[in-house]
Every structure is written in C-alpha cells, then in structure tokens.
Amino acid sequence: MNAFPHITAMDWIVLSLATFRLVRLIVYDEIFAWFRNLFHKTVSSRDDHQNLVEHIIIKGSGLRYAVGYLLTCHWCTGIWISGFVVTIYIVLPNTFPILLGLSIAGMSSILQSFINEE
C-alpha cells in the first residue's frame, strides 16, 4: 500500500503555488512584519553613494536566532513551508479549498509582478 495519495499534476501546481504564496506572506509581506520583528530587526543606512541600504540584524541565540535566520531566506523558509503544505494536504485533504485559494493568490502575485515590470 502506498503511503502517499495519488498526486496529480494539478495538485502539484496548486501545492506549489500555495507554498509560494505562504512563503511570500511570511518572509516579505507587511502583514507579517510583526512576526518577523520578534526574530530580527531591519536597520537602514546609506552607502558610499548615499543610496539607502537595509541590513537585517537577527536577534537572540539558539532557536530564536535559527528562526530569525530562516525568516531572512525565502529558499530556507520554502523548504519548511512546502513540507507543511504537503503534510496538511495528505493528513487533512479537506483543506484543499484553502490551499487552492492560496495558490490563486500566488498566481495573482506572480502575474502582478509581470504587470508592474512594464
């Protein structure tokens, strides 16, 4: 017996986009700044050409430092979020509509970034 349910290509796309959206939400979106501020702070300074540069200073040590570091890296956070999303999908398949909503928001975010580049 297979421990994993059959995952279709469409499921994979939905899970991928839901993961993308959750990572953006946690690592970059303003609505989660309060959470990130528990683990690191952002300090602004000027470089030699007077351009504004932001530096992230991770707070604490041990687990707090590890979480703070994780929240500065979308690649790192993506690994953990993808594990969470897949686990939720397998253990609680009724959450699929929520994951679908996140994936639609993720695709919207991707499309918006292309529109903003024009």
Beta-bridge partner residues of 54: 44
Angle at 73 between CA 72 and CA 76, to 5 degrees: 135
- 93 neighbors 100 (Cβ within 8 angstroms): no
- 99 neighbors 107 (Cβ within 8 angstroms): no
Query: What phi and psi, each to the nearest 5 degrees, are found at residue 78?
Result: -60, -35
Domain boundaries, the chain: 9-112
**The two structure tokens encoding residue 114:** 């292309």
pLDDT at 118: 63
pLDDT at 1: 46
Task: State how far the Cα of 4 lies from the Cα of 91, in Å rounded to an integer.
Answer: 10
Type of residue found at 39? F
| Global confidence as pTM | 0.81
What stretches in the chain show pLDDT beneath 70?
1-5, 118
pLDDT at 96: 92
Angle at 113 between CA 117 and CA 104, to 5 degrees: 155
